[in-house]
Structure 1
Amino acid sequence: MKKFFFKIKGRKYDVEVKQFEEGIAKVDVNGTEYDVEVETPEKPVSKTPRLVRRELDEDKPKKAPVATGAVIKAPLPGNIFKVLVNVGDEVKEGQTVMVMEAMKMENNIQTESAGTIKSIKVNVGDAVMQDDVLIELG
């Protein structure tokens, strides 16, 4: 199935996972086979972000929909590249307020409604996760 080479405290181990079924792995370590019981953690250990793609309605214009009520949220994980507004600025519906870099592309963050910038929760260079609040509108 999979073969690994480990070195622990200077000692080399040739490990091959032969079979994995129902939480039991048959493992060959330096020619000796073992049945290893594998426990899976209740919570995921990885902090790798999971990208959730949303279906787009074909009748709507294809822009990055990020404003929900009185906040503008990150549409996907990325880094803040530019902030184009300041606290107190009036914004119009569809106005680009921020640019973020995600997956090696620049993405315009736009408002879905008009309002006044109440607070900006991020700075240029900040890493954000999907649905993190970027801007509060008042």
Structure 2
Amino acid sequence: MKNFTFKINENSYGVKIVSQEDNTIELEVNGTSYSVKMKEEIKTRKTPTLVRKPSSAAPVEPVKVNPSSSAKTKISAPIPGVILSLNVKVGDTIKENDLLLVLEAMKMENNIVSEKSGVVTAVNVAVGQQVLQGEVLIELE
């Protein structure tokens, strides 16, 4: 069934669980067979429980744009990837939904489009550059 290695007081023990019936487990420790009667009933689940470590990456906040505001808008990478092409440069006037750049992630090309009309004030990436999720790619005003 399952194999384990335990190290106790600098001694290694190879433990193999051979079978489990009711509250009795048949196992081998370094080749010697043992029958272990459990004190409490072993409960088994019908569906497995998925246990995941919490993500270390900070969640990406969606960019909220007020169309009447003249504040800068930052276009961030939605996922980590590589910049395949840049379609704008600093000073370009763009309209809402214009293609800004193409980001390759997991062998898929993702079009990054503008969320509002404006003027490009900063391009923080170059073609071939790898970017992380949430990294600011382009700034608009």
- Alignment TM-score, normalising by the size of structure 2: 0.54
> Paired residues, what number?
94
Aligned positions of 1:1-138 closer than 5 A: 17-18=4-5, 26-27=6-7, 32-33=12-13, 68-69=64-65, 70-138=73-141
Give the gaps of 5 or more residues in structure 1.
3-15, 19-25, 35-43, 53-65
SS in 1 for 2:78: coil
Bigger CA radius of gyration: 2
Identical-residue share of aligned pairs (%): 40
* One-letter code aligned to 1:85: V
Any idea what the Cα deviations from partners look like across 1:87-119, whole Å, max 9, x if unmatched? 100111111110010010110000111110001
Alignment partners' CA distance in 2, 1:110 and 1:49: 28
Check whether the contact 1:49–1:77 (CA below 8 A) recurs between aligned residues. Answer: no
Q: Which amino acid aligns with 1:100?
A: L
Q: Secondary structure at the match of 1:75?
A: coil
SS of corresponding position for 1:109: strand
Classify 1:124/1:77 alpha carbon distance in 2 versus 1 (closer, same or farther; 3 Å): same
The 1-side partners of 2:123 and 2:110 are apart by 18
**Counterpart amino acid of residue 81 in structure 1:** L
Shift of 1:136: 0.6
8 A contact 1:67–1:113 mirrored in 2? no
**2:126 partner SS:** coil
Structure 2: gaps of 5 or more residues:
15-52, 66-72
